[in-house]
Amino acid sequence: MGILRKSVERLWLVVVLIVLWWFASAGSTSIFYPSLDTIVSTLWTDLASGLLIGYLGFSLGNLLAGLALALILGIGLGLLIGEIRWLGEAVEPFVDFLRSIPQVAIIPLIIGTFGLDAGPKIYSIAAGCIFPILLNTIDGVRGIEPTVRRFGKVYRISGPRYFRKVVLPGALPQIMAGVRVALPIGITVMVVSELYAARMGIGFYILNSSSTFHLTETWAGAVLVGIVGYLISIIFNLIERGSLRWYFKSGATTK
Amino acid sequence: MTTTAVTTPASGPVPGAAPELRVERLSIRFGQGESLNRVLEGLELSVAAGEFISIVGPSGVGKTTLLRCLSGLVQPTEGQVYVRGEAIKEPHPAVGVIFQDYSRSLLPWMTTAENIAFPLEGRFDKKERVARAEAALSSVGLAGQGRKYPWEMSGGMQQRVAIARGLAYEAKILLMDEPFASVDAQTRLNLEDLVADLQEKLGLTVVLVTHDIDEALYLSDRVVVLAGKPAAVVETLDTNFGDHRDQAATKSDPRFGEARTKILGILGH
């Protein structure tokens, strides 16, 4: 019963809006505002033909690879920059410089430099996702309790073990908050990176259809990106709950 | 007191033995120029193996700074700390610290058993670590509670876990910084007796920082009073209420009252 009620609380508005959209757009003859009916059937046709599945696979593969790169670099560098004071002093001006550059603006540069394959798209996604992860990791590391650090020193826990078992878990709540911010950026850059120079991918599908006036397909692509984003955030929530069980539970106990 | 271990060293200083912990002309200053803060000046202290000493003094006098210096966390401006004859530059393996804010020094992402076993990594294999953690938990009265997380436990239980962690680490010298300051009165008495019991059984050397004079007198062989700015040892008081103490009997001993009055007098009450 609990789950059912929760689902109803969460989903009723979505259902209402879809129904409203359905009836408001029914019978539309505008090529700019096709009816939801035709959007859904176009989406279904292109999914069933395997075209969109292939595109989606390409795009999500890039997203995953870019995100993995951003996680490895962002968390790795963040732990070092946050923990080692002199390194932080030296590197932070560069971090502030780089993160002020809008990621979307440098995509043509990255593609121009690295070519038209999946590689530059992955780098673009990584470049967009790394900053929230990096900055949150640095903050998380610096926010670790002084007593925890004293414990580590007195009980002579050092080196990789100190980073892996003390600093990383201590900063993890903040790191996860950074990943939450990075995900929608990654999805945006994923789509935008395929608008410039691509022969496949969900972004290419959207651009190609809109420039050939198949606007129903443009709508279908946009709806698909939204659905993918929603599913990714659900998966992320599950991962976050699982990896930070102690954080949510101990927080609940003290409140 | 039941004696179960094979070797049960008696508590109290061994005459003629080298001091377990020695502090020589210790001075600590923070800041420079106008904002120079002279915390400790020319402090001398010697603690024998198996001795239990308490450091008392007003708030802000530098008790915690002194303890951090003994633990190797803070480097003195002048002077030197020796642990078992070695001049220390960093925390010494024979020294364990029990922190005041136990809820922060225990890692919330590890179970209590993992917290205790963690500092043993690299010294023992997994099986041995688990066994030692369980043994340490039993010795503080928490047998079988290793799978709980610290935040599932009361404050007193968490501080027991912190003590167990020091014991499993095989610390011979326990430095305790206001360890019972944030638990309720009844728990506090229980923890005091636990520490006294463990110290006697294991022959530990203990330095306890506290601002509770009764606690200091009840637990220690010797009470060191710090006062002044910069702080120095203004009085050292040997307690002579015997080795086996009891919360009710010892605290109503007339000598206990005299000692308390004397320390309160020194601290200006």
CA distance linking residue A107 with residue A255, whole number of Å:
45
Type of residue found at A198: A
Judge whether A158 is closer than 8 Å to chain B, CB to CB: no
Facing residue for B169 by CB, picked from A155, A172, A250:
A155
CA distance linking residue A180 with residue B64, whole number of Å:
41
Q: Are strands B37-47 and B222-227 parallel, antiparallel or unpaired?
A: unpaired
Judge whether B93 is closer than 8 Å to chain A, CB to CB: yes
CA-angle at B31, arms to B27 and B35, nearest 5°: 115
Going from the C-alpha of A127 to that of each of A69, A111, A123, A165, the distances in angstroms are 9, 12, 6, 28
> Which pLDDT score is estimated for A47?
84
> Which pLDDT score is estimated for A252?
52
The mean pLDDT of chain B is 86
Judge whether A100 is closer than 8 Å to chain B, CB to CB: no
Q: Are residues A127 and A73 in contact, defined by beta-carbon separation less than 8 angstroms?
A: no
pLDDT band at B4 (very low <50, low <70, confident <90, very high): very low
Average pLDDT (A108-120) is 75
Q: Which residues contact A166 (CB under 8 A, 6 or more apart)?
A: A144, A148, A152, A157, B107
> Which pLDDT score is estimated for A176?
95
- Segment A195-220, tens digit of pLDDT: 877 788 888 888 888 888 888 888 98
- Segment B218-244, tens digit of pLDDT: 999 999 999 888 888 888 888 877 777
CA distance linking residue A236 with residue A234, whole number of Å:
5
pLDDT band at A25 (very low <50, low <70, confident <90, very high): confident
Q: Are residues A190 and A203 in contact, defined by beta-carbon separation less than 8 angstroms?
A: yes
Facing residue for A246 by CB, picked from B91, B108, B119:
B108
Q: Which residues contact A60 (CB under 8 A, 6 or more apart)?
A: A228
- Segment B153-174, tens digit of pLDDT: 988 899 999 999 999 998 899 9
Q: Looking at beta carbons, which residues of chain A come within 8 Å of B72?
A: 153-154
DSSP A63-104: HHHHHHHHHHHHHHHHHHHHH-HHHHHHHHHHHHHHHTS-HH
Among B105, B120, B148, the residue to mutate for chain A (most A Cβ within 10 A): B105
> Which pLDDT score is estimated for B223?
93
Structure tokens at B179: 């360890």
Facing residue for B109 by CB, picked from A157, A169, A253:
A169
Average pLDDT (B120-130) is 92
Inter-chain residue contact B108 with A151, CB threshold 8 Å: no
Residue of chain A with shortest Cα separation from B155 = A254
Going from the C-alpha of B144 to that of each of B58, B116, B130, B136, B205, the distances in angstroms are 40, 13, 12, 11, 28
pLDDT band at B1 (very low <50, low <70, confident <90, very high): very low
CA distance linking residue B184 with residue B203, whole number of Å:
28
Eight-class DSSP state of A164: I
Q: Are residues A11 and A19 in contact, defined by beta-carbon separation less than 8 angstroms?
A: no
> Which pLDDT score is estimated for B9?
46
Inter-chain residue contact A151 with B99, CB threshold 8 Å: yes
> Which pLDDT score is estimated for A144?
92
Give all domains of chain A, ordered by start, each with its CATH number: 61-197 (1.10.3720.10)
Q: How far is CA B136 from the centre of its chain?
A: 17
Residue B211: which of B67, B108, B69 has the closest Cα? B67
Mapped onto helix, strand or coil, the DSSP state of residue A50 is coil
> Which pLDDT score is estimated for B5?
40
- Using the predicted structure, report yes or no on whether residue B13 has a pLDDT greater than 60: no
- Segment B141-150, tens digit of pLDDT: 999 899 999 9
Q: What is the CA radius of gyration of chain A?
A: 22
CA distance linking residue A187 with residue A64, whole number of Å:
10
Q: Looking at beta carbons, which residues of chain A come within 8 Å of B108?
A: 246-247, 250
The distance of B91 to chain A (nearest Cα, Å) reads 5
Q: What is the CA radius of gyration of chain B?
A: 18
Instruction: Give the H/E segment covering residue B177.
Output: strand B173-177
Look up the ipTM and state it: 0.84
Inter-chain residue contact A250 with B101, CB threshold 8 Å: no
Q: Looking at beta carbons, which residues of chain A come within 8 Å of B71?
A: 154
Inter-chain residue contact B152 with A166, CB threshold 8 Å: no
Average pLDDT (A122-126) is 90
Q: Which residues contact A57 (CB under 8 A, 6 or more apart)?
A: none
